Structure 1
């Protein structure tokens, strides 16, 4: 029996047409994300990380292989797969609470209660009536996360959600995301270029190689939360991830599973 929120990818291949020729972007991708797990995908630009996330979201289709959520094949977008982009994509004419509710009516008592809960969860109490132009980048991204979590997705897909933020705000948002994850127990799959971010957040890190995108290594991050970014164990794991990105898997602690 497959648990709700479990993501299972087997032998996924994806190509794009380029100058009349099919170019393989993803090759034989396979991994599982367990219910409630936080997994990060990291790799160089052009390795297909965002393409992979779009296939998982149902926004694109693979050429072969399977992508399943809770045991069911993913064929199209749906509310059981939340997607957070690098840009917050809020409606500028709507307030914070209206953006979180989106197509749901705040006049509905149950919706109103859930929106209030989300505002508390992402720590935006007091900003309910504010418009996006009145918010910082980090606050706007928290609104986007709250809007997605309101729909109670089985898995939350995050494509470089903090890439446009300054270093201080980014660190704060990473801590906020961890708090949300620990409270909600939502399965999370994050794409990033940031090694520190990957080690700070994840239970596991999947390292990808480019042209075509393949899985190079899978690294378990067994540090307890909250994590000390300047601690020796953190820095050791950071070095392992860096080596996995720079070298072949067999050069990193003997390989595929670290």
Structure 2
């Protein structure tokens, strides 16, 4: 039996701008089940990243209710992991020390967990490498492992593969799904890539801009592993594409990338 881990109730977010207030998010309603993988797509400026930051507790200035396990989210915590568009690694630390972050590898429990994560994200043999010696995809795998170190209840991913080439992106999608299937960590994944949204998500949230709101939530009933070339995948992709084509274009460039 599944249970709700994250509940967003009538969320509204307004930014102040020189020409007046910008409504970034309006009347967001969402319930996320424990262990669910949700992908979020929408045009630039629709508030996708803002939504993740609110769930992460990075942004606490909003109206409405956002709760994790029934408790209001009041700030960042180890219950929520966040992966940005770029890896944000410490250049002076090795792979294993970047994953451990401020925890000591001399602690047997930390050592064991870091070793397990290195294997999980397929970085065996690169434990002593520095970020400058890693490819973009490898660096992002380090960021994923670091976010998983403290066993977060929810993992928030803000276009983590957006800057990668198609081959690396496809490979890391497989790695992420492998992690999700093994750990069943609840995931909210923001992307601009429709194929990526359908390939990863159990539900796809489609957002409209100005003000940002949820246009539709589409279930993706395909079993894993998914094959992009399959007829069933292409059918679902077409359904999501047709719905996405209905998304209203933003009237102004102000606030794009919110």
Tell me how far 1:61 sits from its aligned partner.
2.1
| Structure-2 change in CA distance of 1:52 and 1:248 (3 Å) | closer
Q: For residue 21 of structure 1, give the secondary structure of its aligned residue in structure 2.
A: coil
Q: How many residues align?
A: 247
Question: Are 2:37 and 1:38 equivalent residues in the alignment?
Answer: yes
Q: For residue 35 of structure 2, give the secondary structure of its aligned residue in structure 1.
A: coil
Tell me how far 1:54 sits from its aligned partner.
0.5
> Take 1:243 and 1:208, find their aligned partners in 2: how far apart are those partners?
14
1:106-125 to structure 2, matched below 5 A, reads 106-125=105-124
Question: What are the superposed Cα offsets for residues 14-72 of structure 1, whole Å, 9 maximum, x if unpaired?
Answer: 00001152221100001111000000111011100001110110010243110111111
Tell me the equivalent position of 1:222: 221
Question: Are 2:202 and 1:203 equivalent residues in the alignment?
Answer: yes
Q: For residue 88 of structure 1, give the secondary structure of its aligned residue in structure 2.
A: coil
Tell me the equivalent position of 1:157: 156
TM-score by length of 2: 0.93
Tell me how far 1:166 sits from its aligned partner.
0.2
Tell me how far 1:248 sits from its aligned partner.
6.2
> Take 1:44 and 1:70, find their aligned partners in 2: how far apart are those partners?
30
Tell me the equivalent position of 2:168: 169
Tell me the equivalent position of 2:8: 9
What's the C-alpha RMSD, in Å, of the aligned pairs?
1.4
Tell me how far 1:110 sits from its aligned partner.
1.1
Tell me the equivalent position of 1:99: 98
Tell me the equivalent position of 1:67: 66
TM-score by length of 1: 0.93
1:122-141 to structure 2, matched below 5 A, reads 122-141=121-140
> Take 1:188 and 1:171, find their aligned partners in 2: how far apart are those partners?
18
Contact 1:13 1:62 (C-alpha < 8 Å) held by counterparts: no
| Structure-2 change in CA distance of 1:45 and 1:20 (3 Å) | closer
| Structure-2 change in CA distance of 1:15 and 1:198 (3 Å) | same
Structure 1 residues without counterparts, runs of 5 or longer: 250-258
